[in-house]
Structure 1
Amino acid sequence: MKFKSIDLFSPYILVAIIVIYTALAAIAYQEHLRNLQWISTTTWIYVLMGTLFFIAGVFAPKFLYNHSEKLKSLLSSPGVTEKNSEPWYNKIRVMLDERVVLAAVLIGILLQIINLYLLGGIPILSGYLKFKATTDLWRFAYPIFLPAITILLAKYPRKWYYLLFIIGLGVFAINGYRTTTMAILISGFITLYYTRKMKTSHILIAILLIGLVGVAAGYIAVMSIQWQQWSLNPLQLVAYRAGFTMMVFDKIVHMAGATGGDLFQQALSTGHPRVTVSQVVLNYPVSGSTPTTSITSTIFGPAVLDFGFYAMIIQMFVIGAVLRIIYASQIKANGALTAFYAIVLTHTMIWVETGPTDSVVYLFYLLALVAVVLYATQLMKNPSTS
């Protein structure tokens, strides 16, 4: 099988990410990095079951498609164009006009620059500033910038838009959060992967560079935390973070249901679910002389801590099914749907470590699903195209 014939970023990529992440954790346990010990067999079974139900979720829409002539007819139609779409649909598509999207990109970058100015320093170089960097301004800037820049790259391939992408990546990377940096970088790459004819060598080089940026960003961010001392090299730190996060999940497995839905409620509001994880699971203090610690617990952790094993497998099945639906839609529609798919897939891959505890990611999922529903509605309303 040729490399180009493989779709690297189908929803099944999440399985590969889970395997890689657990392998890194195993290396940390084998080397006893910072005295990490092997987690229980039960926890490995939880990971396996969660992954299997994710695969089942990805497969489910395909199974329905194969057994539904109506769906086959719908998805084999030519698609929605300006000529055959409803007037209200065309009005919504005005929001994707190049000038509108470009303005959104510039607004997002400007808001983040103002945010950095008001912070009075560079958060990536200071743990204290990093703790304060996720402000209300950032909460507006990031959800505006990321969809806008990916849509711009997907629909309007002008060379100077790549410069805007780099500028935006830089001003958000300064915030000090590795997840934000990687989300922008990977979303942009996946968008280009589907909308440009990239050479195999360019794809491999891009993946290598993204990996190096991820390692470097994580190392710089950790080393800037003044109240922590680290003696690990960058590669050891990557393995240790995976091992530590899996260790947190191991503890969660043995106290399933302890938070009774509190993490999910906080994730959909302005709460701090990762801080709650640190307090409930690791008994970290509520307050003190240093900023409150935020702890990740893998993609499986929050659901188990809130409701137990069955909540985890339902969550993984739903994530798999939703990703598959958005994926199938973007393959047919391309453009803005490709940008939305790139965003939700990227954040879901990041969830493998951090867990689904970010309200902004739920917003991205919602936007992607709304786009899918609107597109499907137009397909069904045009018999001539189906």
Structure 2
Amino acid sequence: MYFSKRKIDFFHPYIVPVAILIFLVMGYIGSFNYRFEDPLNAQTILTIIFAAVLFTVASFIVSKKVTIEKTAEINFISEKILIIFIILALVLQSLNMVLLGGIPLFDSVLKANATTNLWRIAYPLFLILINILIAKYYNRKYLLLVLLGALVFGLNGYRTSVVGILVSVFITMYYIGKISQKIGILFVIIIALGGLAVGYIASQSIATQTWTLNPVELVFYRAAFTQEVLEKIIPLAGTTNGHILSMIFSSGSPRSFIGNYVLHYDVCLTSTMFGPVLLDFGYIGLTIQMLFMGAFLKIIHSIAKNRVGISIYSIILTHTLIWIETGPTDIMIWFLYLLGLILILITFKKH
């Protein structure tokens, strides 16, 4: 219903392989300019391209098999209730920082402990409900809640929260036809500045940090470093036998485990969308993961024909894009995929 109004769908699932290739180029450029001895090797480049192709193939196949013209609107929650729970999420995150004893963005020690159970409740609650509010009851004044949320969760020290909120809302507004040229440009500027600022400030708060890069250089450096981690993972493919996956759905820190296992020192690492599954299950696991993600996102895209569906698709797409760098190592974000599965089951039951 809403997708069909657009001649060009800029946020079709195909944006994911495009973003993967852009990330690859950024990492390749970054590997020349900073502390890396050699540019990314051919196997790493081909692995990333292989993953992007698998995602594209799965999305293409599903696009030929799944077609739903429209679905009924879901009216299970009122505008006032949405606002109350959005404010509750902001209060919970503020309480989280009070209990931590400071602002994690400015303290790397606090940041390391900032993703508490309070945050795990507050962030998805805010993310989901703010998108539903914008989709179902759009009003420009609600954009102030969006910006407030980006600020409050940005103080936690992780730019992924800022990007997750702003980009998902941007996509939701795009699909409901509320992105004018002026608002679009403003949103892109806010997203870029917000992501750069949080990433840069957080990097400067690391006590052991001795190198100096400006915010733009830092983006290319992070892309290069993350792909360098992937390069070191490839020779170890399949050697952890599912341990990282088990950590995601239990206790422990998958990123810290990867740091210890791959680089042999205590550090929390992002290893791209492809690193964790490669370590656990090798190229067979990577193939299954990318085919699943491509098919799953395209199914959600095909059935998201009401405003709640659009908001869920926007959230899942945004965090899949974030995963390109960070990797799917957080159970809280997999919960968003669970929402998509619920949407799929409800839709196909009705059809």
Letter in 2 for 1:101: L
Note the aligned Cα RMSD (angstroms): 1.7
Residue of structure 2 aligned with 1:353, choices 318, 325, 328 = 325
User: Counterparts in 2 of 1:40-119, with a 5 A limit?
Assistant: 40-65=41-66, 75-76=68-69, 79-80=71-72, 93-94=75-76, 96-119=77-100
CA positional deviation for 1:18 = 0.9
Quote the Cα distance in structure 2 between the aligned partners of 1:327 and 1:187: 14
Aligned to 2:273: 299
Identical positions, percent? 39
Unaligned runs of 5+ in 2: 1-5
Aligned to 2:142: 161
CA positional deviation for 1:211 = 2.0
Letter in 1 for 2:343: A
Aligned to 2:295: 321
Calculate the TM-score normalised by the size of structure 1: 0.86
Residue of structure 1 aligned with 2:207, choices 226, 231, 239 = 226
Aligned to 2:249: 268
Residue of structure 1 aligned with 2:20, choices 18, 21, 28 = 18
The alpha-carbon distance between structure 1 residues 165 and 206, as it changes in their structure 2 partners (threshold 3 A), is closer
CA positional deviation for 1:172 = 0.7
CA positional deviation for 1:156 = 0.7
Aligned to 1:30: 32
Quote the Cα distance in structure 2 between the aligned partners of 1:243 and 1:218: 15
Quote the Cα distance in structure 2 between the aligned partners of 1:166 and 1:233: 24
**For structure 1, which segment, 247-256 or 191-200, has the greater mean C-alpha deviation from structure 2 after superposition?**
191-200
Q: Deviations over 1:287-319 (max 9, x none)?
A: xxxxxx210111111110001011101100100
Aligned to 2:3: none
Residue of structure 2 aligned with 1:365, choices 337, 343, 347 = 337
Contact 2:58 2:294 in 1 (8 A): yes
Letter in 2 for 1:80: A
Letter in 2 for 1:309: Y
Number of residue pairs aligned between Structure 1 and Structure 2: 346
Calculate the TM-score normalised by the size of structure 2: 0.94
Contact 1:223 1:230 in 2 (8 A): no
1:253 maps to 2:245: no
Quote the Cα distance in structure 2 between the aligned partners of 1:36 and 1:125: 31
Contact 1:153 1:191 in 2 (8 A): yes
Higher Cα radius of gyration: 1
Q: Deviations over 1:68-118 (max 9, x none)?
A: xxxx5xx23x5326xxxxxxxx7xx42x32233222212111111111111
Contact 1:130 1:176 in 2 (8 A): yes
Contact 2:164 2:315 in 1 (8 A): yes
Quote the Cα distance in structure 1 between the aligned partners of 2:131 and 2:293: 22
